[in-house]
Structure 1
């Protein structure tokens, strides 16, 4: 067998016999090297060879005697040492349970010798080969051998060498951990701390000792009496291992044991540092933690276990004061109170019950900042504490002999009964608190408070067994009290009200009827309308049994009180009953009728507010029938008309408005009637009637601007209604009276022209058309496109008047007279047409231009066609003809030039009927140039 094959065989033998790890990690991280289980070698049961460790060692030894390869000799020597150590471990495993497992106890001399022999073998190998890369395994086994042999300092030194020289060894983590344990066990807490720190520095990844190192480091620091540093170490571990409240809740098994142990030792350290205040100081410095509540809990438990009740209570209170809004705050405070109860400190217990109620009471900041579930948990404790305090002080006060003590204790009881009522108004036993509070107040002679709570018991809890007793006690409290003069009236009213309420709830009282009426009258006199009405209604229920005077009184109170309460229909009905009283004097009757009128009017107002406009109108209009003499009727009718307008019931509105104006012509409201009638007439299309109302406003109004608008609008409406005569009157009034605003003024002038046009009154048209032009020309910067259009139109129309006149004048002999007359008219027409062109409105620019051209052409034609003088021979006629042509030629030239100007506007994209007519005229005046007939294809022909 060659060297390589032989080496492979020995390596296989080493692997098969070697254990898993000489320093395998125990299950419990608190165990030390002294109680580490030894390595167990498991042999196959069907192995035919009975081989002992000594036999194997002997065979390895014989191999060494003949082996020459250095590497194999080292490995075999290493293996011999391991087998000797393994034999020692097996021997230790055979020691019965319950005996000391140390080598100094029951290990045999032979076994100790084997451990020592293995140590010597390892030491020899390390000494012979100090630089081998696998010496970490030998150091690991050597440290274990030292430990088994009881040589702890040697084990420590070996492990220190291992972790120092082989930081990347597979044995490093375990070696560092075992080193820390040995240092801790030997009392070298500083060294242990450092070893544990090195493990921590390696981080949690692939480091099974990370958590244990953190935990044991905290203990190592604690053993050095460095409490602050130890607290920091444990805090770091808690932060990492229990980062959330859920993680704390989920801890179990070993994790839970470690958590509880950490909290216990931290509580001890905070106590050693001083007391519970050290917790806040520490975490204020290092940052608050979510698990602080557990530390307060453990420290309180520590104190309570020692029966240091005040210290335990102070610890719990410190947490509550530090975290007053924490969900555990009331729980801790309840535990505090329970501690004082256990310790039999009643004064402290009651004191802290008060504090508890103040901190966690209903409606306080804590209560409002937490959920309904938390509030429900608090309710039971709060109720118990409040009842305890109220009952304690009530009993003490009743038994006190000294007046001062009695009042003081009963005052405290009163305070707590009030607190219970405030906190739990819907609780089943709140009625009892009301009753007891009333009893305490009565005993303290606080009669107003007593009567309030007696009445609550009597009338808010009618099923309560002491309801009737409470109602009667309330009356007694009213009668006992002597108010100041300023309060006497109100107290008298309340006294009667309470008595009447008692009568109502307990009808066996024989005074019920007359007392109800008297009470109602008193309440009405004092203007206590709601209770007066209630009392009067109660009296009305039994009015059949009342004398007439009391029936009248009940009706009268009900009528006035319901009116003040806005119950106007009931008020009308009740006052109507009051009016039937046989002993009414004239003045009272008149006053009552006026009041009835007011109720009817108010019913209309209410109906309007509720959106029932028809009902509102009905109430207001019926007032004239119900109380015709009432002055309220005037307002009612006017309001009815206004509402009818809003409803657009214009027929009825017009009827009411016209009647109102007829009935009350001098009333100030009449001034607004025209504006309402105008709207109604407009909607009905009765323009002429609307115009007359506008005319009223123009005549009678006081607002100049409103008058101006009314004047113009009346003219429009007269025109719209076909009354042109009145329209002319109002337009003229406007035109003569209002020059501003300019737009309306110019429109009014033009409207007059239009109406006169419809009447074929040319003379008056000329007047108003000329006014339009004058207005426009004088407007300056106020000129508008509309005024420009109207002015151009007016100028053109005036030109047309002259043109028609011009065309009617024939040129006859003598020519000088007829031509002069025709020329004068032509000049007048030219002036107006030119004016229209100059204003610059396209529609009238082209038409006026055409008309100007035609004036010249027509005059030329008229000259040529004029009558010839008689008695002329042929030559004279020819000369006369030449003379006419000389006169006509310039006219034709002027006509051509003007028509060409019009025609040339086509180059600007303009073409209308007047330009077209200019073209035709040019065709007549210049046929050679303009009268060329070309065949034009129709659009249809072209597309074919």
Structure 2
């Protein structure tokens, strides 16, 4: 047991000797012993170092503390405390050596038999040998490895760290031990083991792991040194992915992150140069997925090649990126760097070749140009493209002019032409575009392509008249016309164009007194060749010098303008010009009629145009005025008919009716007249003039060629007469329809029904009953085509017929001779019963309950009629009583039948059915059953039929 005074002495020494074995090592400084010999990030961020640092300034020297510990050991017998003191002493010795190496402590004044690290090693090994099973031996092995490094024994350090990992897999020092082993393996040249050790550090995860990033980075170097190039690239890629997950983080890197980013990219560029070339980048990232920082790797590799003087490799690298990402915004800049690299290297041919490639990749109209429409990018591209294209065109043009060999000259001219054409195509709004057109025309002229030369000369002359070369270009265009000799089929057209060009030149640059005559001749030739736009333009120009033209040429100009504008759809001008041509009185009689017909066609077409523009009123005015301008015209018929049709659409029905009626009156045999009734019908309908509409429909009903349309017209005729209040004509029309069109069923039934209603309104009961019976017949014959509507109408008809029979039945009085009157009344009863039963069987609720009630009423009425019938004359009192008894016997079955029928009707309430007729049956039963009857005579089968 330690005494109190010794504990007080030991306490400050314990605090002073607190070593790295009891806490996680600081990560504030690099450790030279574990350096990989790299620059940049590798030198400054290789790993946290193994160092023992006092937390405060030491109040006593290491020697004093060690002496105190030795005194303590001489008197202590506590095994646990002695072990800990030995650990503190070994750690103090090691710390003293580190501080002396770092210049923080002066060298020890006392010469020792062995260096401090060696002594520490001896102490740590003794502790492990003496106490092999202690739980804190991981810290002892950690310190043993550190001391071995300080003592210049890396193999011993590796062994200690390997033992720590193997024997203490849960130790807090395992991750750092893997990292330190990685450094030791790397420095010893065992890159495979180094990579494996670093991988263990990475596998431990980022959380609480100060070695995570450095291990990932150093693993990449180890794999590179081990010549596992793809794995090395993958390791570096993982670090970039994690540390710079997006472009913003990559671009904003600074300080240590910037050093890490640039060192990794430098390392990856080195790997590519060692393992292959620029193509390796694409292969690698095609396999592992594209990355947002690939462009920097291409850039770094190109810079590395340029630094080494490998200009073509650098250019190939930049071009590889552009071809891999042709739409990337950096692509033009990379290619410009490539072109500049060839310029600086003096590779003129390659420089020009790649200027041409640049245009293919980024020129106006390319996929890149279409993709990037922002002003900044377009401006930058335009600047480079213009420079490169002018360089190429000028070089080949100059080379052609210097060449004395025809073949070479032609080849160079063709090349120059290509680039001039690309310039004028790409930059039509450039300030110096007139000069480029002129140079292109010059090259085409030298190549004897006079058509192209003409085009570009005229562009300069007439699109850029203020240009200093405009007049020269206009004259050169005439020369190009004159030099060209087309084949006969094109000769006439070319001559016409030649004249036009000459006149244009005269008008533009020196007013010629013959310009008007030449223009008219040119316009006539252009019209003959159906070049309407040019003919019209030329004729209009002739009108500007009209005061210099004779009547013949005024007529010609107006005629050309009229025909050309008509062909081009400019019909108002065509009408005006052709009228002007007629005023010149130069046309022959046959031509006069032809021109008048064309004027009419122009008016008609103006109407069409107005209609297409949505101005219907203007269209109608044009079409209707045609009759006043050219009354004999063939276009008049179509115009007036179209005017009526458009009036219907506006709508202006009153005027439409007027025009249609006039049309039918004027052209009764014209095929279009056949459609007038249908149009008039619509107009009358919209005006609710039902009688007029019915009259037109009746015409179609009698004369329409289509049976289906004829049937519809017949039915609508009846409807419209009825809607117009003319019931007499409606009845005739419905009756005509009913007789002529038994199909389709629905329409035929409705026609029969309307006849029923109309005859009922007219009080013609017999005719009404005829059509009621026809409704029933139609329904019965329909079979599978029967509908709910047909069943309803048939049930209604049967009930109405039953009502008529009932009224006749009720009018028959039983008188003597009774047998004869009973026979008449019973026949009427049977007729009514038949109709009511017919209605009930159709199972339409409204008529089923009504018919049932009426049947009960029939039998009850017959019973009452018997009992109140006239008695035979001459009966005495006894005979009268017997006669009364006989009547009662005859009346009783009738009452029973009535009761049973009314009970059947009343019983429908059990099915949730209760209407006026059911209620009437209840009322009838209250009168029919004042007492109990015992007779059970059977009644006729019609009772069963209505249950």
TM class, shorter-chain normalised?
0.7 to 0.9
User: Equivalences for 1:561-572 in 2 at 5 Å?
Assistant: 561-572=564-575
**Post-superposition offset of 1:889:** 6.7
2: distance between equivalents of 1:881 and 1:136?
143
C-alpha distance 876-502 of structure 1, shift in aligned 2 (>3 A): same
Helix, strand or coil at the partner of 1:451: helix
**Post-superposition offset of 1:117:** 6.5
Maintained 8 Å contact 2:94/2:117: yes
Match status 1:597 vs 2:600: yes
C-alpha distance 13-671 of structure 1, shift in aligned 2 (>3 A): closer
C-alpha distance 438-791 of structure 1, shift in aligned 2 (>3 A): same
Maintained 8 Å contact 2:90/2:123: no
Please, which moves more after superposition, 257-266 or 335-344?
257-266
Deviations 1:427-473 (A, max 9, x none): 44444433332332222222232333334444444554444444444
Q: 1:653 — aligned with what?
A: 656
**Post-superposition offset of 1:345:** 0.9
Deviations 1:512-565 (A, max 9, x none): 433333333223222222333333333334434432222222322222222233
1: distance between equivalents of 2:177 and 2:148?
13
Q: 2:336 — aligned with what?
A: 334
Counterpart among 840, 863, 867 of residue 870 in structure 2: 863
2: distance between equivalents of 1:628 and 1:311?
86
Please, which moves more after superposition, 629-638 or 721-730?
721-730
Counterpart among 267, 270, 282 of residue 269 in structure 2: 267
Q: 2:683 — aligned with what?
A: 680
C-alpha distance 514-198 of structure 1, shift in aligned 2 (>3 A): same
2: distance between equivalents of 1:255 and 1:792?
102
Counterpart among 473, 477, 482 of residue 480 in structure 2: 477
2: distance between equivalents of 1:340 and 1:884?
144
Match status 1:130 vs 2:157: no
1: distance between equivalents of 2:775 and 2:95?
136
Helix, strand or coil at the partner of 2:696: helix
2: distance between equivalents of 1:769 and 1:26?
114
Match status 1:116 vs 2:124: no
2: distance between equivalents of 1:361 and 1:514?
47
Deviations 1:767-825 (A, max 9, x none): 76776676667666666235525643663576478569867xx97xxx66x996x7786
Q: 1:573 — aligned with what?
A: 576
C-alpha distance 879-359 of structure 1, shift in aligned 2 (>3 A): same
**Post-superposition offset of 1:347:** 0.7
Q: 2:305 — aligned with what?
A: 303
2: distance between equivalents of 1:82 and 1:804?
138
**Post-superposition offset of 1:726:** 5.0
Please, which moves more after superposition, 688-697 or 332-341?
688-697
**Post-superposition offset of 1:606:** 2.7
**Post-superposition offset of 1:344:** 0.6
Match status 1:416 vs 2:429: no
2: distance between equivalents of 1:137 and 1:886?
137
RMSD: 5.0
**Post-superposition offset of 1:921:** 13
User: Equivalences for 1:409-808 in 2 at 5 Å?
Assistant: 409-488=412-491, 490-492=493-495, 494-495=497-498, 498=501, 502=505, 508-715=511-718, 717-718=720-721, 730=733, 733-741=736-744, 784-785=790-791, 787-789=793-795, 791-792=797-798, 795-796=801-802, 799=805
Maintained 8 Å contact 2:715/2:733: yes
Maintained 8 Å contact 1:552/1:578: yes
**Post-superposition offset of 1:6:** 0.6
2: distance between equivalents of 1:175 and 1:769?
112
Please, which moves more after superposition, 142-151 or 204-213?
142-151
Q: 1:9 — aligned with what?
A: 9
2: distance between equivalents of 1:164 and 1:756?
118
Q: 2:254 — aligned with what?
A: 252
2: distance between equivalents of 1:77 and 1:916?
124
Counterpart among 311, 314, 318 of residue 312 in structure 1: 314
Q: 1:343 — aligned with what?
A: 345
2: distance between equivalents of 1:451 and 1:207?
78
Counterpart among 362, 369, 372 of residue 360 in structure 1: 362
Q: 2:399 — aligned with what?
A: 396
Maintained 8 Å contact 1:115/1:149: no
**Post-superposition offset of 1:346:** 0.6
- Rg (Cα) greater in structure: 1
Please, which moves more after superposition, 886-895 or 645-654?
886-895
Unaligned stretches of 5+ in structure 1?
A: 97-106, 869-874, 931-944
Helix, strand or coil at the partner of 1:130: helix
**Post-superposition offset of 1:667:** 2.1
**Post-superposition offset of 1:37:** 11
Please, which moves more after superposition, 548-557 or 216-225?
216-225
Deviations 1:230-273 (A, max 9, x none): 55655555455445444443443344445444444443443334
C-alpha distance 591-856 of structure 1, shift in aligned 2 (>3 A): farther
Q: 2:943 — aligned with what?
A: none
1: distance between equivalents of 2:344 and 2:285?
31
Maintained 8 Å contact 1:798/1:829: no
Deviations 1:840-860 (A, max 9, x none): 163567558757865786687
User: Equivalences for 1:920-939 in 2 at 5 Å?
Assistant: none
2: distance between equivalents of 1:137 and 1:922?
117
**Post-superposition offset of 1:286:** 6.0
1: distance between equivalents of 2:715 and 2:595?
51
Helix, strand or coil at the partner of 2:870: helix
1: distance between equivalents of 2:395 and 2:536?
45
C-alpha distance 414-893 of structure 1, shift in aligned 2 (>3 A): same
C-alpha distance 800-408 of structure 1, shift in aligned 2 (>3 A): same
C-alpha distance 833-389 of structure 1, shift in aligned 2 (>3 A): same
Q: 1:840 — aligned with what?
A: 839
Please, which moves more after superposition, 667-676 or 208-217?
208-217
Q: TM-score, normalised by structure 2?
A: 0.79
Maintained 8 Å contact 1:192/1:217: yes
1: distance between equivalents of 2:342 and 2:333?
15
2: distance between equivalents of 1:456 and 1:701?
66
C-alpha distance 607-892 of structure 1, shift in aligned 2 (>3 A): farther
Deviations 1:652-692 (A, max 9, x none): 33333332222222222222333333333444454444443
Please, which moves more after superposition, 3-12 or 727-736?
727-736
Maintained 8 Å contact 1:139/1:162: yes
Maintained 8 Å contact 2:775/2:794: no
**Post-superposition offset of 1:390:** 1.8
**Post-superposition offset of 1:402:** 1.9
Deviations 1:548-584 (A, max 9, x none): 2222223222222222333323322222222212233
C-alpha distance 722-380 of structure 1, shift in aligned 2 (>3 A): closer
> Across the two proteins, how many residue pairs are aligned to each other?
900
Please, which moves more after superposition, 280-289 or 476-485?
280-289
Helix, strand or coil at the partner of 1:10: helix
Helix, strand or coil at the partner of 2:29: coil
Please, which moves more after superposition, 84-93 or 909-918?
909-918
Q: 1:939 — aligned with what?
A: none
**Post-superposition offset of 1:181:** 5.2
Helix, strand or coil at the partner of 1:527: coil
